[in-house]
Structure 1
Amino acid sequence: MKVYTSNQSTEQSTSERVKVGVADYAVTESGAELVTSGLGSCVGIALVDTETGIAGLAHAMLPAASDGRSQTDGGGPDPMSNDAKYVDTAVNGLLREMVDAGADRSRIEARVAGGSAMFEFNAGDGAVGERNVEATEEVLGEHGIPIVATDVGGDHGRSLSFDVSSGTLSVRRAHGDTRDL
């Protein structure tokens, strides 16, 4: 099977475990498991077309690519950033790769986890985790992708395991319990 990531495309055998790093995403087909860990304020976005078995998982750090614009260079794009770092561009990349692999956009559904408030501070525009969740809801809504399950907020980290064959997203919380979405 073909695995598409924000960094490269590689061939994978069936029942493969594909690790999605921070500021990364991957798209694959049935028989694979997509995993990511270290979600604090970051958000994990799992998309699947259950009919074709094509699925993707993103681990995004910030709500929007515009958040990565440098203050010192007049607001131009950050040359050290990548599309998977931001919720808006990560979702766009996931959808593009999934459709290219044969998914039907009208059948894609989402599961979302993360967006914790890991640190206490007051910012005028809200905590990063909360803003990540809001950006995820907004961009998925713009694409007409329904969110069928969530495990967001709180003050704890999470690790995710996405069984592409079943469409089940297992969320292991830092305080010990596991939820299947």
Structure 2
Amino acid sequence: MKVYDTDPPTPERVKVGVAEYAVAEGESTLVTSGLGSCVGVALADPDAGVAGLAHAMLPSGNERAAAAATDGGADRPAGKYVDTAVPGLLSEMVAHGADPAGIEARLAGGSAMFDFSTADDGVGERNVAAAKAALAERDVPVVATDVGGDHGRSLTLDVATGSLSVRRAHGGTRTI
């Protein structure tokens, strides 16, 4: 009988915070929680075994450009805005061996967490629209979504398969 003195390695679990993104390889998982009006952008190249996850708060940092110029960009972390998170995530994935032509996207979040009763779209809707536009501009197909509604979500991205598990605050889990 063979005795093992160490446990087999467990897959790495990478936490992605609000206004952050991360890339992982192999058997890892990427996780984020607390998505309300924020949008989760999950990108994967299953053939290369590389995936990335962003938890973006706002569609664009353009309205903050003047502030960023005066404070050295301190208010513009790459994952905070969809318009910086998507290109940053794609660039980092390619640096880890992903083939740009093999990357596909899944989106989750973008809820209407507050009713402001205005004619303008809410932040959640604008985040989702910005993510779709940024991905289309870079020829990355969106293969599945779980967006909108009025509830929060937590996400788990399986790097090896590219599948995204979406756990909803009001109950239920869905894999897209």
The TM-score, its normalising length taken from structure 1, stands at 0.86
Describe how 1:12-51 pairs up with structure 2 within 5 A: 15-51=11-47
- Equivalent residues, number: 167
Distance 1:44 1:80 in 2: 20
Describe how 1:124-163 pairs up with structure 2 within 5 A: 125-163=120-158
Describe how 1:2-81 pairs up with structure 2 within 5 A: 15-69=11-65, 79-81=74-76
Q: Deviations over 1:40-73 (max 9, x none)?
A: 0000000001110110000000001213345xx6
- Would the aligned equivalents of 2:68 and 2:75 in 1 still touch at CA under 8 Å? no
Describe how 1:60-139 pairs up with structure 2 within 5 A: 60-69=56-65, 79-123=74-118, 125-139=120-134
- Would the aligned equivalents of 2:45 and 2:51 in 1 still touch at CA under 8 Å? yes
- Would the aligned equivalents of 1:65 and 1:83 in 2 still touch at CA under 8 Å? no
Q: Which runs of 5+ in 1 are unaligned?
A: 1-12
Larger RCO, structure (CA 8 Å, separation 6 or more): 2
Query: Aligned in 2, Cα 1:16/1:105: closer, same or farther, shift over 3 Å?
Result: same
Query: Aligned in 2, Cα 1:76/1:120: closer, same or farther, shift over 3 Å?
Result: farther
- Would the aligned equivalents of 1:47 and 1:110 in 2 still touch at CA under 8 Å? yes
* Larger of the two Rg values belongs to structure: 2
- What residue is the counterpart of 1:179 in the other structure? 174
Q: Which runs of 5+ in 2 are unaligned?
A: 1-8
Q: Deviations over 1:82-126 (max 9, x none)?
A: 111000100010001001111110010000000000000044542
Q: Which has the higher strand share?
A: 1
What amino acid is aligned across from residue 25 of structure 1 in structure 2?
Answer: Y
